[in-house]
Structure 1
Amino acid sequence: MVVMKMKFPFQKRVKLAQGLWLLSWCATVAGAITFTLGCILKAELRRRAEVMDNADIHIVPNTLMIVGLASLGINYFASKICQDALDAGRFPRWKTFLKPYFAVSCFFTVLMLLAVIMSYAMKGNLESSLKVGLRNGIRFYKDTDTPGRCFQKQNIDRLQMDFQCCGNNDHKDWFEVQWISNRYLDFNSKEVKVRVKSNVDGRYLVDGVPFSCCNPTSPRPCIQYHLTNNSAHYNYEYETEELNIYLRGCREALVNYYMGLMNTIGAGVLSVFLLQGSVLVSLRFLQTAMEAVAGNENTEIETEGYLLEKGLKDTFMEYFDPVLKFLLLKNQVQEGTPAGTTAPASS
């Protein structure tokens, strides 16, 4: 059953080709924008790579860059096809090219839609990656003399100041790790000895946070040590005091930042997907309308164009049945022939 059949007089075909030529170049620019958005997202993720545990989240920018580059080629050829559509003698040379062209174009257009979906669905992976990465970043904060971790302190301090956050979940995460290097501790001091001996692992733990957790907008001078000791500070009560350090955890801040960035990019790429889909649908109508003109002396006749010659299921099987048969045949040969042997030649 033919899907979406329409009649195309000569003037309508000309307008369709001209409009599609302009639309294809708009889609080419949109493809370049998609590639640029992927590069921006990739760069932003790499900036915070030291607080991310895995690279799975990079699948989103990588996909955007791939479909952006593919969109440039797809729409360039679409513009060339539109130019030749105005000349009935030149259009038939695209006949054998168009079937694989539509298959490849549909694949990358669907991949673009998947990139949009992934940009909204990667919150769980992003959060788990940041949870482990920030935990390790805080644990290695003091290792400024260890190769490979020399800039860990600088990175964490800059992160907390830029995003106005403190710790992984909150500021209490700093209470559970030794974030002060041993080189800056006086082990002759009685207080240091008591704190080290009172810990099972021999770590120097304090109820304090690094300076980068301090909120500069607070009217009170920063209280970063003895946060839980009310008697250590004048007019201070830990349970009710509005602390003059950042209360939001860095994981929450980073998740909100990256998800906001991904959602904005996702909305933009969704617009590009709709534009790309419009190009493919219009090009399909132009192709089928021009097929009736090929070999006809009267190029100004009225023709019919359609989206699909058969139903969706039959069209899908027409494109992918050869691929499925090839894969099944290859699998049968591998199962029936022992490894390292070849089938005997027929006499």
Structure 2
Amino acid sequence: MLALGVLIETTIRDKIRFIENYNGAILPALLLSIGATSVVAHLVCGKICWTNHNPVRRRLWSRYLLPTMIVSTVIFLLELVSGIMCYSHVTELDKSFKRGILTNMKDYKDDVNVKEEVDVLQIEFSCCGSIAYTDWFRTAWIHEDYLNDLKLQSLRKSGFDDGFISDDVPFSCCSPTSMRPCIHHHVHDNDLHYNYDYRTSMTINKKGCAITLMEYYSEWILMKAGAIAIGLSFFQVRFWLYIISLVDNNIAIDHPLSCIKSMENSSARLCPDFVPASNNDQSKCFRKLETLKQENRPEIYFKQFKGFWAFGHWNSCGA
């Protein structure tokens, strides 16, 4: 979870200029906080489960098993919510990219930093415009200082105050896979270019940058992060249930009543606390066991019998 939070934080921050009306810090902060909490909680829960593995200390630490399950359940729910949020943020990020790229396209002719980042974006992701390359046809991206007299005259006649608009796109929209020299001015005017038809031999990238970015962020970042978060949540629950079941089984096996029943049946169960120290204590052992059975209070004498290992098996009172 920590790694997912860092990954989303760094990748979104890298393209933060093109994200509009979207708080990119919420999801990474949630993943980072859940990840940090999970690490601490798992260390504590692991300590509790490991300590309960020791029969001597189990009586004191077994009381913490229920809180361990509660904490694990809370972490499971938080990770499940974070995974669902990764999926839900796909739609929000898509809208934010579309708006943000269009806003930067409008500032392309006036801000050199914006121009540089837009050009780098279009070259890096082989895209053009926000949704499609035709977005540039509706955007005045050429500054008036660089318009020739004919275009300036056309601009004045049009009465369009925002700037000159034509079927032109920046050079960064050019496709490197095209063998023909790039045609990025008058893209839809077949008559101005020799042996050219924009419907079949276009030399620029057609796909919009918002579409391309979302293919990267949704499929490779958010969707995978959501799947990993949800998968981890269910895996952790299954893992902790398995650990708790092992500890619970050990507690049941080492319980005095279980040991008494085991020795009465002359089985080979491991009940060291109820094995006599020598054969001379057999009669005493049986009297104790009978008393324990009648009083149904085996815990009173739980620590009075000490076991030993001999000839590859545990001796029992019936040996």
TM-score (normalizing by structure 2) = 0.73
Partner of 2:45: 78
Q: Partner amino acid for 1:241?
A: T
Give yes or no for contact 1:208–1:226 (8 Å, CA) kept in 2: yes
Shift in Å at residue 85 of structure 1?
Answer: 1.7
Same amino acid, percent of matched pairs: 31
Partner of 2:197: 237
Shift in Å at residue 99 of structure 1?
Answer: 3.7
1:128-139 pair list within 5 angstroms: 128-139=95-106
Closer/same/farther in 2, CA of residues 241 and 94 from structure 1, 3 Å limit: same
CA RMSD of aligned residues (A): 2.6
Partner of 2:120: 158
Partner of 1:182: 144
Shift in Å at residue 164 of structure 1?
Answer: 0.8
Partner of 1:35: 2
Q: Which residue of 265, 285, 290 corresponds with 2:245?
A: 285
- The 1-side partners of 2:229 and 2:210 are apart by 26
Shift in Å at residue 290 of structure 1?
Answer: 5.8
Closer/same/farther in 2, CA of residues 69 and 180 from structure 1, 3 Å limit: same
- The 1-side partners of 2:109 and 2:256 are apart by 81
1:108 aligns with 2:75: yes
Partner of 2:206: 247
- The 2-side partners of 1:281 and 1:257 are apart by 36
Report Cα offsets for 1:259-294 as digits up to 9, x if no partner. Answer: 112222333333322321123212432454466689
1:205 aligns with 2:172: no
- The 1-side partners of 2:134 and 2:204 are apart by 11
Shift in Å at residue 156 of structure 1?
Answer: 0.9
- Structure with the bigger RCO (C-alpha within 8 Å, sep 6+) is 1
Report Cα offsets for 1:163-213 as digits up to 9, x if no partner. Answer: 111001111111111111234345xx2431222431332511121000110
Shift in Å at residue 96 of structure 1?
Answer: 4.9
1:287-326 pair list within 5 angstroms: 288-289=248-249
Partner of 1:267: 227
Shift in Å at residue 138 of structure 1?
Answer: 0.9
- The 1-side partners of 2:209 and 2:37 are apart by 37
- The 2-side partners of 1:99 and 1:154 are apart by 58
- Point out the structure with max Rg over C-alpha: 2
Partner of 1:14: none
1:165-176 pair list within 5 angstroms: 165-176=127-138
1:90 aligns with 2:68: no
Instruction: Indicate the larger mover: 161-170 or 176-185.
Output: 176-185
1:39-58 pair list within 5 angstroms: 39-56=6-23, 58=25
Gaps of 5+ in 2: 260-269, 272-319
Instruction: Indicate the larger mover: 195-204 or 220-229.
Output: 195-204
- The 1-side partners of 2:103 and 2:165 are apart by 17
Q: Partner amino acid for 2:39?
A: L
- The 2-side partners of 1:72 and 1:105 are apart by 11
Gaps of 5+ in 1: 1-33, 145-149, 302-347
Give yes or no for contact 2:9–2:24 (8 Å, CA) kept in 1: no
- The 2-side partners of 1:120 and 1:272 are apart by 16
The SS at the match of 1:180 is coil
TM-score (normalizing by structure 1) = 0.67
Partner of 1:143: 110
The SS at the match of 1:115 is helix
- The 2-side partners of 1:59 and 1:99 are apart by 32
1:214 aligns with 2:181: no
- The 1-side partners of 2:213 and 2:123 are apart by 12
